[in-house]
Structure 1
Amino acid sequence: MGGAVSTSGQAPGRVVAVWCPDWPAVAAAAVADLPATTPIAVVAANRVIACSATARAAGVRRGLRRREAQARCPELHVAQSDTDRDAIRFESVVSAIDEVAPGVEVLRPGLVVLAARGVVRWFGTEEAAAERLVDAVAAVGVECQVGIADELSTAVLAARRATLVPVGAGAGFLAPLPISELAVEPALAAPERGETVDLLRRLGIRAIGTFAALTPAEVASRFGSDAVAAHRSARALPERPPSGRSIPPDLVVEYPCDPPIERVDAAAFVGRTLAGLLHVRLAAAGVACTRLLVAARTGNGEEHTRTWRCAEPLTPEGTADRVRWQLDGWLTGRSGSRPTAGIVLLRLEPVEVVASGALQLGLWGGVGDEDERARRALVRVQGLLGGDAVQVGVLSGGRGPGERVVLVPVGEEAVPTSDPSAPWPGRLPPPAPAMVLQEPPLITLADESGTPVTVTERGVLDGRPARLRWGSRNWTVIGWAGPWPVDEYWWDPASARNVARLQVLLDGSRALLVVYGADGWRVEGVYD
């Protein structure tokens, strides 16, 4: 391993971190069945958030706009960000590591940590343990880097450099690194860590060692709580006390599955229910969970467990996501061994908790009180009607208002079908209608003489709209905007659509969005 330092000795609290570089791009390539040499970029909000090594060699960098990245690398394969995809695909890697060194904790898809004591005892030295872990991950077709250090955050930064930091040398290893490294790993930092690092940089603190040289009193008196946590990381001190708080009794929640669960969607639905029950108990005990163990037992007695570690206390949605990812990996066999029978018992166990005050409270109440109450109400209804019966809208890309709303079941990842920030020629300008009709009714739009008004092949009106008739109602048109013609999928006769949208203002201050197609005018939306 490049940059490895010999460390035959081992301290009791040593941590091993295993990092898979560019994991979102690796997962996207696996789903698309692309070779490893294909340049790949993963985008969110029209900006690159991860890219492969071949894409970087062509000039693609994180933060670039999608169009600029494609201009730098015309053969670039672009994939949308998908947290579910990343987590589910990572299960095979975690299982491979778990076979070599049990006790793996997942920080995020692409990064795991584990205690060094057991794996080093088994393989003899830290170097041998690191090499064996790299080989185990390579066996499932994935590259990784291993870092070992006294503290978790130091080990993670060491993994990004494939380095084994000697015992007691964590502060020296961190000192020359740029201050931005304290915010490079979101799984170990609060959301505001980037702002903290930016402030330190503006104050002239460029290296981690310079920041570590400040006294704790100076940091605590001038900066926020996140800077205090970052300062502990910079000095290679424990970010989180090893036994910060004893686990209150009766926090473990179980769900006996009758009949046994064999499908991923059914398991995910039960997982959401169990996550809600767990957080009710956590709230009653005045604590929040930062490390969660997900366990499942099959009808043949097979046991599957996995521990997730988080920088911030888990929310009900975060817990449900991790349960869903884990169950998907087990039931589909991505973990390496598919269960031979259905799941008969699910268990969630908080391994580490903190006082509920660690949660960021809103100005007028708890952590999203209104949103949380609404979510719980929806989950209760979902429990009565079924997983797909309660859905919420997600903003997606498209030209018409109906195309820009995608419905997903409550609790599922809110992933749009297309990028809403991408350019959409012919897209309806704001404001959007307050109500979109699922079945647009036919109407008649005519001029003063009663002659129907249509849209020509050039995309313009062939008359001045004066009257609009909708069923038995008849309105006077006092103004309009448009039309906005849309010619979609012209290369595919089966999917081709040629329409034009028009905003019309009627007497009585009523406004409608109407669309002209092959069968005439229809009402698509109603404005407030």
Structure 2
Amino acid sequence: MDARGSRRLVAPAGPPGGIVSTREPARVLALWCPDWPAVAAAAAADLPATEPVAVMSANRVLACSATARAAGVRRGLRRREAQGRCPELCVLQSDPSRDARLFEPVVEAVDATAPGVEVLRPGLVVLAARGVVRWFGSEEAAGERLVDEVAALGVECQVGVADELSTAVLAARHGTLVPPGKGAEFLAPLPISELSVEPSLAAPEREELVDLLRRLGLRTIGAFAALPAGDVASRFGTDAVAAHRTARGHPERPPSGRELPPDLTVEQRCDPPLDRVDAAAFAGRALAELLHVRLAAAGVACTRLLVAARTGNGEELARTWRCAEPLTPDGTADRVRWQLDGWLTGRSRDRPAVDLDTGIELLRLDPVEVVSAGALQPGLWGGVGDEDERARRALVRVQGLLGGEAVLMGVLSGGRGPAERITLVPVGDEQVPASDPEAPWPGRLPPPAPAMVLTAPPSISLLDDAGDAVTVTERGLLNEAPAHLRWGSRGWPVVGWAGPWPVDEYWWDPAAARTVARLQVLLDGSRALLVIHTSDGWKVEGVYD
């Protein structure tokens, strides 16, 4: 179902016969606003709906409008390639706070029609279908009413209903009602890439899993579901097991069998009341840190969070956020900031923003659903959460300050020496090596690779027992066994060595031709070096641990 054309829901025919069970299935209704980051960015910039828009993050397309997609723009493209495909493309930067603030009127409209909304991310909400279906009479009628309410705000959306949350989200992306018990049949013909299309329901490594499954020849979700569960669990990680359960239509997150530990709710009275977004965000971060201290003390982690507030005129506000993985302190603080920003500045016309004369006088965080703290592993530096994502954000921030070419990362390339096997590319650019690492490279240094590669190799002297210089003959052999290595004013006895590995490079080009030989040397004291012999003599190219 969508608001762009026909409002008729596509409902595959269910099995014939009457009711076989008196127990009503716990169905889930998902409402999805396509390309929401691009829609919100265009609205904030006062751009018309027909303008091709792309939202960029780390120099790559995060989301794009339908007009841009028709011109060939796709998620993941670099900015230069996207603008090459669509020269009139309007490029805007990603802003999660803006997306959440502008999505609040949509959530308000859905919540006014069907209470109990849970926000997965800006642009996607879910709710239990039972209550809204009983009120409107059928799933089709409930979906059409929600689409009408959102369309009244000038926003397009699609609705899907299924037994499980992930299936309902995928059904919403296809505008489909999945009959009870038919989730696996609905998912079976879909491409395997659909398992990673919604990041709010998957672990960060889901895209790598999908890429691996595709390379293994599994093209559809049904092919993945046909694998034995034991084989998936033994070959892949925890997220693969969750994806496999989704593909089979099995329950994804069973209700917790334990009671919520007491005294986990945290609240803060705001005096004076909060009437600015920055002040509310500061208070929300402090409250998020306090919440996670209590969660850690109880040995649990939060997967569903209720953000509640009371205004100075007595109005009660509340919103539930659901997460695929346990929330980290930063993740909690982000959601609190987004929600407060939406309440203070982004509410609908029927329910205006919080009165800035009264503001928010009470802020409360309530963990609605918790899991064992083992699901949240501590980070390398004492924190918790996705350290790779935090590092990426920091690098992108530095890149914005110093320029695109100022922050580089290494990509494994082809070559014979260790320095040649590293290609430095700017953060956010496509990680393309300068040469194929899988191609045969005669004369390539065998493993292990040195732990440190020197960008400016210092000159050394390699001597035999008689104190004479050790060189490499025209046949690529050492003229004498090395016995001493001298580096500047210091020297060490050589207790072992391997090689040499001679390489005659670019012999067809007299200007670039060179002959080198590498040697692994073990010094007294368990220090190991990689040294290279050129026309200028011996130099240290790398150091082993």
TM-score by length of 1: 0.69
In structure 1, what residue type is equivalent to 2:360?
I
After the TM superposition, which residues 226-245 of structure 1 pair with which residues of structure 2 at under 5 Å, given as runs? 226-243=239-256, 245=258
For residues 364 and 346 of structure 1, the distance between their equivalents in structure 2, rounded to whole angstroms, comes to 30
Match for 1:358 among 375, 389, 392?
A: 375
Q: Which residue pairs with 2:306 in the alignment?
A: 293
2:169 is aligned to: 156
> 1:59 is matched with which residue?
72
Matched, 1:4 2:10: yes
Q: Percent identity?
A: 76
The aligned residue for residue 218 of structure 1 is: 231
Of stretches 149-158 and 82-91 in structure 1, the one that deviates more from structure 2 is: 82-91
Conserved? CA contact 2:132–2:142, under 8 Å = yes
Instruction: Evaluate the alpha carbon distance shift between residue 399 and residue 171 of structure 1 in structure 2; reply closer, same or farther with a 3 A threshold.
Output: closer
SS in 2 for 1:268: helix
**Aligned with 1:352: secondary structure?**
strand
Separation in 1 of the partners of 2:56 and 2:303?
A: 28
Note the C-alpha offset of 1:161.
0.2
Work out the CA distance in 1 between the residues paired with 2:114 and 2:397: 40
What's the CA shift for 1:103? 0.6
Which of 159, 166, 180 lines up with 1:146 in the alignment? 159
Partner of 1:411: none
On the 8 A contact 1:145/1:162 being kept in 2, the answer is yes
Q: Aligned AA for 2:40?
A: A
Of the three residues 83, 107, 122, the one matched with 2:96 is 83
- Out of 365, 383, 399, the position equivalent to 1:348 is 365
> Which residue identity is paired with 1:295?
A
Q: Distance between the aligned counterparts of 2:25 and 2:80, measured in 1?
A: 50
For residue 395 of structure 1, what is the aligned residue in structure 2? Answer: 398
Partner Cα separation in structure 1 for residue 383 and residue 330 of structure 2 = 16
Residue 226 of structure 1: how far off its partner (Å):
1.0
2:274 match: 261
Amino acid at match of 1:337: P
Deviations 1:383-438 (A, max 9, x none): xxxxxxxx99931436689x99xxxxxxxxxxxxxx9869xxxxxxxxxxxxxxxx
Secondary structure, aligned partner of 1:114? strand
Aligned length: 388
Within-5 A mapping of 1:365-384: 367=384
Is the CA contact 1:395–1:420 (under 8 Å) kept in the aligned structure 2? no
1:119 corresponds to: 132
Residue aligning to 1:377: none
Which of 156, 169, 175 does residue 182 from structure 2 map onto? Answer: 169
Indicate how the Cα distance of structure 1 residues 81 and 176 shifts in structure 2: closer, same or farther if over 3 A, else same: same
Are the aligned partners of 1:333 and 1:339 in contact in 2 as well (CA < 8 Å)? no
1: CA distance between counterparts of 2:329 and 2:374? 16
Task: Tell me the amino acid that sits aligned with residue 140 of structure 1.
Answer: L
Q: Equivalent residue for 1:435?
A: none
2:535 — aligned with what? none
Q: Give the letter aligned to residue 278 of structure 1.
A: L
Q: Is the 8 A contact 2:277 2:341 kept in 1?
A: yes
1:483 maps to: none
Task: For residue 303 of structure 2, give the secondary structure of its aligned residue in structure 1.
Answer: strand
Equivalents in 2 of 1:230, 1:272: separation in Å? 32
Instruction: Report how far residue 286 of structure 1 moved.
Output: 0.6
Q: CA deviation at 1:362?
A: 4.3
CA separation in 2, counterparts of 1:98 and 1:270?
Answer: 26
Q: 1:368 to 1:157 in 2, by over 3 A?
A: closer
Residue by residue over 1:487-515, the C-alpha shift from the partner in whole angstroms, topping out at 9 and shown as x without a partner, is xxxxxxxxxxxxxxxxxxxxxxxxxxxxx
| Partners of 1:171 and 1:235 within 8 A in 2 | yes
User: Could you say if the C-alpha distance between residues 7 and 320 of structure 1 is closer, same or farther in structure 2, counting changes exceeding 3 Å?
Assistant: farther
Whole-Å Cα distance in 1 between the matches of residues 380 and 91 of structure 2? 40
Aligned with 1:338 (options 330, 335, 353): 353
Q: Could you list the per-position Cα deviations for residues 297-326 of structure 1 after superposition, in whole angstroms to 9, with x for gaps in the alignment?
A: 112210000000011111111111111111
Contact 1:397 1:421 (C-alpha < 8 Å) held by counterparts = no
* More displaced stretch, 155-164 vs 239-248: 239-248
Query: Within 1, Cα distance between the matches of 2:403 and 2:240?
Result: 46
Displaced runs of 4 or more, over 4 A: 6-10, 362-366, 368-371, 398-401, 419-422
Aligned equivalent of 1:378: none
Q: Does 1:30 align with 2:43?
A: yes
Q: After superposition, give the CA deviation of every residue in 1:192-239 in whole Å (9 maximum; x if it has no partner).
A: 111111222222211111111222222112221111111110011111
Does the 8 Å CA contact 1:244/1:354 hold for their aligned counterparts? no
Contact 1:29-1:40 within 8 A present in 2 as well? yes
Q: CA deviation at 1:165?
A: 0.5
1:207 matched to 2:220: yes
Question: Counterpart of 1:135 in structure 2: which amino acid?
Answer: D
- Gap runs ≥5 in structure 2: 2-7, 389-393, 408-425, 430-545
Deviation per residue, 1:432-462 (Å, 9 max, x gap) = xxxxxxxxxxxxxxxxxxxxxxxxxxxxxxx
SS of 2:253's partner is coil
Specify the SS of the correspondent of 1:329. Answer: helix
> Given that residues 293 and 349 in structure 1 are in contact (C-alpha distance below 8 angstroms), is that contact kept between their aligned partners in structure 2?
yes
Please report the RMSD computed on the Cα atoms of aligned residues, expressed in angstroms.
2.7
Contact 2:328 2:385 in 1 (8 A): no
Tell me if structure 2 keeps the 8 A contact 1:245–1:352.
no
Query: What letter matches 2:354 in structure 1?
Result: P
